[in-house]
């Protein structure tokens, strides 16, 4: 007989977990499990599965070394029930208890599974975040627009990060206008710190290769950090070598440089190997020491205590149906080139190729290349959502869904963004070298070789005119559209439709 079962999920590998707090090492048992339900509810990238399984195994070993009793189920255990509730029921029977303590999962799907489990389960808040659900709801209550900027300022005040005498450091809250430089000619950063797999990781890689080898994504080479010490080394590496130029080039894209000056630590943060406070404190310390400029540090911290916390607040405030929203009525199927099929669009091809290889792409690649194309082409937002959830190592529904359903696809009708994030090929040409050597010509607006982003941009604007014509941020573009000759507008719409029909038929586009 034991007192309670303490559930620790794969993205909760943190010693300061609410479920562990106050638990008794002698009487309670920690339950951790690699289960098919969690590994397969979408076709996760093999690197993501391997990262989580390896981090879980190492965390379980760390807990045991610290005196905890841990009941750990590997994926290939013959007794594995295949689900988290199933493992809790099995362990409850094994240890003779019906009491479970859990930290709130980050997806409604798993919250509901725990609520439906016929055990006495106490679900505690996940207080590894800066803002609780209640705090975010209090902030949002009564506001006509839930602008992230105002939430972010409150989080700056709450934390004291980059604050001086109650005012923002440097006199401004936001230095985003300094963080939009196009791709540099050369990058003097060798990328994120990479780690050679140890025995534990090698065992996981063999298992994942055997079970998930057909999933989209390259398992090898595998270089992610899989324990807290490695993750902290990766953070230190970024702060010292890349943060100084992160701000300037955070929106830039290069076909042959997958990381530029990005940290690539979001998967460690979201899984629990790093805490938001230690990351932000390290970045702020670099600025105060004169080792990184304010625009870079502010932009980096804003992503963590601004966007990340805001997205979580939106997800839980909007409820379980959020991922099914489709305010624009888009219904086209996700084309095969998102899963690695050939496409003549070099920007999309390069973004997907990188995603397949690394389980990573930075925010502009996700928003303004793959996300922008899906929105312009009218792809079903739920399919887009499930693709992002599948292919990125840092993707959990609480953070991925608002970024995709809200920010990227405008499927929530404007809760996250005041306008759709759509652009023609000009933005991609400005911020990247993707257009160099592309089958299409970004400067060609019509006819042979016209960039599909140019055609689809105007087709999108025309298709949704009733909704967006009165939006002051889009009025100028509608004025430009209206100044075109009628025959030119007709040709654009005809060529856009032809492109979409060819794409739907599986033709090379």
* Average pLDDT of every residue of the chain: 97
Above 80 in pLDDT, residue 1? no
DSSP string, 9-73: -TT---TT-TTTTT--TTT-EEEEE--HHHHHTTT--HHHHHHHHHHHHHHHHHHHHTT--EEEE
> What confidence score (pLDDT) does residue 383 get?
98
Helix intervals (H) in 141-226: 148-159, 199-212
Cα separation, 117 vs 252, whole angstroms: 47
Contact between 405 and 411 under an 8 Å Cβ cutoff? The reply is yes
Average pLDDT over residues 468-488: 95
Write out pLDDT tens, residues 415-431. Answer: 999 999 999 999 999 99
- Same domain for 195 and 106, yes or no, is no
CATH value at residue 53: 3.40.50.620
Above 80 in pLDDT, residue 132? yes
**Which residue segment(s) compose the domain that 107 sits in?**
5-124
Q: How many CB atoms lie within 10 A of CB 30?
A: 25
Q: Note the Cα 283 to chain centre separation in Å.
A: 21
489's CB contacts (< 8 A; 6+ apart) are 458, 462, 481
> What confidence score (pLDDT) does residue 215 get?
98
- Same domain for 152 and 258, yes or no, is yes
Above 90 in pLDDT, residue 87? yes
Residue 354 lies in a domain: yes
Residue 75 lies in a domain: yes
- Same domain for 392 and 455, yes or no, is yes
461's CB contacts (< 8 A; 6+ apart) are 422, 468, 474, 477, 478, 481
- Same domain for 242 and 150, yes or no, is yes
Cα separation, 73 vs 53, whole angstroms: 11
- Same domain for 166 and 202, yes or no, is yes
Collapse the DSSP code of 168 into the 3-class scheme (helix H, G, I; strand E, B; otherwise coil) and give the result. strand
- Same domain for 116 and 141, yes or no, is no
> What confidence score (pLDDT) does residue 479 get?
96
pLDDT category at 183 given cuts 50, 70, 90 is: confident
- Same domain for 414 and 279, yes or no, is no
Choosing from 83, 103, 124, the residue where a domain stops is 124
> What confidence score (pLDDT) does residue 2 get?
83
Cα separation, 493 vs 495, whole angstroms: 6
Choosing from 89, 124, 159, the residue where a domain stops is 124
Average pLDDT over residues 68-76: 98
Choosing from 107, 124, 141, the residue where a domain stops is 124
C-alpha distance from residue 335 to each of 77, 103, 250, 374, 502 (Å): 37, 37, 28, 9, 11
The residue behind tokens 């973004």 is 351
Above 90 in pLDDT, residue 64? yes
Cα separation, 350 vs 262, whole angstroms: 17
**15's tokens:** 């010693």
pLDDT category at 106 given cuts 50, 70, 90 is: very high
Write out pLDDT tens, residues 235-275. Answer: 999 999 999 999 999 999 999 999 999 999 999 999 999 99
> What confidence score (pLDDT) does residue 140 get?
97
Above 80 in pLDDT, residue 196? yes
Query: What's the total number of domains in the chain?
Result: 3
pLDDT category at 133 given cuts 50, 70, 90 is: very high
Residue 330 lies in a domain: no
DSSP string, 222-273: -----SHHHHHHHHHHHHHHTHHHHHHHTT-BBTTBS-TT----HHHHHHTS
Q: Which of 322-326, 365-369, 469-473 has the lowest mean pLDDT?
A: 469-473
- Same domain for 231 and 314, yes or no, is yes
Above 90 in pLDDT, residue 41? yes
Average pLDDT over residues 36-53: 98
Residue 13 lies in a domain: yes
Residue 221 lies in a domain: no
Region class of 7: left (phi > 0), else alpha (psi between -120 and 50), else beta: beta
The residue behind tokens 């009491």 is 99
Cα separation, 448 vs 181, whole angstroms: 31
Q: Note the Cα 286 to chain centre separation in Å.
A: 25
Residue 218 lies in a domain: no
CATH value at residue 175: 1.25.40.80
- Same domain for 168 and 187, yes or no, is yes
Above 90 in pLDDT, residue 402? yes
- Same domain for 38 and 176, yes or no, is no
Above 80 in pLDDT, residue 199? yes
Residue 460 lies in a domain: yes
Cα separation, 64 vs 70, whole angstroms: 6
- Same domain for 380 and 399, yes or no, is yes
- Same domain for 275 and 348, yes or no, is no
Whether pTM > 0.95 for this model: the answer is yes
CATH value at residue 419: 1.10.579.10
Q: How many helices (H) and strands (E) does the chain have?
A: 23, 7
Residue 352 lies in a domain: yes
């Amino acid at each position: 007989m034991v007192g309670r079962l303490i559930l620790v999920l794969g993205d909760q590998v943190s010693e300061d977990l609410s479920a562990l707090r106050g638990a008794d090492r002698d009487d309670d048992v920690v339950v951790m499990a690699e289960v098919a339900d969690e590994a397969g509810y979408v076709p996760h990238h093999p690197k993501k599965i391997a990262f989580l399984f390896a981090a879980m195994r190492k965390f379980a070993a760390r807990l045991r070394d610290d005196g905890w009793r841990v009941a750990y189920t590997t994926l290939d255990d013959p007794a594995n029930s295949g689900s988290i509730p199933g493992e809790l029921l099995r362990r409850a029977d094994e240890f003779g208890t019906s009491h479970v303590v859990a930290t709130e999962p980050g997806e409604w799907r798993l919250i509901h599974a725990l609520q439906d489990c016929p055990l006495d389960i106490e679900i505690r808040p996940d207080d590894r975040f800066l803002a609780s659900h209640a705090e975010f709801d209090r902030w949002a209550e009564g506001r006509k627009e839930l602008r992230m900027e105002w939430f972010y300022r409150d989080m700056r005040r709450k934390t004291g990060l980059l604050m001086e005498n109650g005012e923002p450091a440097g006199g401004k809250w936001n230095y985003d206008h300094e963080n939009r430089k196009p791709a540099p000619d050369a990058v003097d950063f060798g990328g994120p710190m990479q780690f050679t797999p140890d025995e534990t990781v090698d065992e996981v890689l063999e298992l994942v290769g055997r079970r998930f080898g057909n999933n989209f994504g390259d398992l090898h080479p595998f270089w992610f950090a899989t324990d807290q010490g490695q993750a902290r080394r990766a953070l230190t590496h970024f702060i010292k070598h890349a943060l100084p130029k992160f701000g300037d080039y955070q929106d830039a894209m290069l076909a042959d440089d997958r990381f530029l000056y990005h940290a690539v630590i979001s998967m460690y943060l979201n899984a629990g190997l790093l805490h938001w406070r230690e990351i932000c404190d390290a970045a702020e310390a670099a600025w105060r020491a004169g080792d990184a400029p304010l625009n870079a540090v502010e932009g980096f911290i804003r992503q963590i205590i601004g966007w990340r916390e805001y997205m979580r607040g939106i997800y839980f405030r909007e409820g379980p149906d959020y991922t099914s929203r489709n305010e624009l009525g888009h219904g086209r199927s996700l084309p095969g080139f998102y899963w690695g099929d050939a496409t003549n669009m070099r920007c999309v091809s390069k973004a997907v190729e990188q995603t397949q290889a690394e389980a990573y792409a930075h925010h502009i690649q996700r928003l303004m290349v793959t996300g922008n194309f899906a929105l312009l082409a009218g792809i079903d937002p739920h399919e887009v959502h499930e693709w992002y959830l599948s292919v990125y190592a840092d993707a959990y529904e609480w953070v991925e869904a608002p970024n995709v359903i809200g920010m990227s696809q405008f499927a929530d009708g404007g809760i996250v963004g005041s306008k759709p994030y759509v652009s023609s090929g000009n933005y991609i040409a400005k911020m990247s070298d993707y257009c160099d050597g592309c089958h299409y010509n970004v400067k060609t607006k019509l006819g042979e070789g016209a960039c599909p982003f140019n055609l689809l941009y105007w087709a999108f604007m025309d298709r949704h005119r009733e909704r967006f014509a009165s939006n002051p941020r889009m009025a100028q573009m509608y004025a430009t559209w209206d100044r075109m000759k009628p025959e030119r507008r007709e040709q654009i719409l005809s060529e856009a439709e032809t492109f979409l029909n060819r794409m739907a038929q599986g033709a090379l586009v």
